[in-house]
Amino acid sequence: MEEVLDLLKEKNLKATPQRLAILNYLNHKTHPTIEEIFEEVKKSFPSISLATIYKNINTLKDVGIVIELNPGGKLKYDINIYPHFHGVCEKCGNIEDFYDEGVMKACKEKLKKSMNKNIKRLSITLSMVCDKCAKA
């Protein structure tokens, strides 16, 4: 949690309990929707408002701490710390993270050469069939 405080300070954002609760939830549950974040954080902050969730997600998005995923259907949110790519199951819609720094780096290199420009952030999303749905 120490890192989070530093990260917020670095971006000049105040470490309010509500904000920390949102970040903490994002660290445990991957890719929740706004509604899911709201429902969860409300357990520890019964008085929290939906508007506060929106405002926080937007500011965290603006500074790059959080990224927005559009898998079709509702938008989902993800803490943007380690380089990874996303697999969206075309049956159930769930998103799975794949961490592979080597592959991400290799793709980045190839893309960079192809387009002849610097790449600031790289987002790779693919559709697949997840293991659970493959069995069914």
Partner DNA sequence: CTATTTGCAAACCCTTTGCAAAAAT
Partner DNA sequence: ATTTTTGCAAAGGGTTTGCAAATAG
Least Cβ distance, residue 35 to DNA (angstroms): 7
Nearest by Cα to 103 from 89, 78, 83: 83
Q: Which neighbouring-strand residues pair with 95?
A: 88
* Exposed e or buried b per residue across 73-112, where buried means at least 16 C-beta atoms within 10 angstroms of its C-beta: eeebbbbbeebbbbbbbeeeeebeeeeeeeebeeeeeeee
- Candidates 55, 105, 110, 112; binder of DNA (CB under 7 A) is 55
State phi, psi for 5 to the nearest 5 degrees.
-60, -45
Which one of its own copies, DNA, none interacts with residue 7, CB within 5 to 8 A by kind?
none
Which one of its own copies, DNA, none interacts with residue 50, CB within 5 to 8 A by kind?
DNA
Footprint on residues 67-126 left by DNA (CB under 7 A): 74-75
User: Encoding tokens for residue 78?
Assistant: 């993800």
Q: Which residues bind its own copies (CB under 8 A)?
A: 61, 68, 70, 72, 75, 85, 87, 90, 98, 100, 102-103, 106-107, 110-111, 113-115, 117-129
- Candidates 29, 43, 54, 106; binder of DNA (CB under 7 A) is 54
| Residue whose structure tokens are 């019964």 | 46
Which residues contribute to the site for DNA (CB under 7 A)?
8, 13-19, 34-35, 45, 47-52, 54-56, 58-59, 74-75
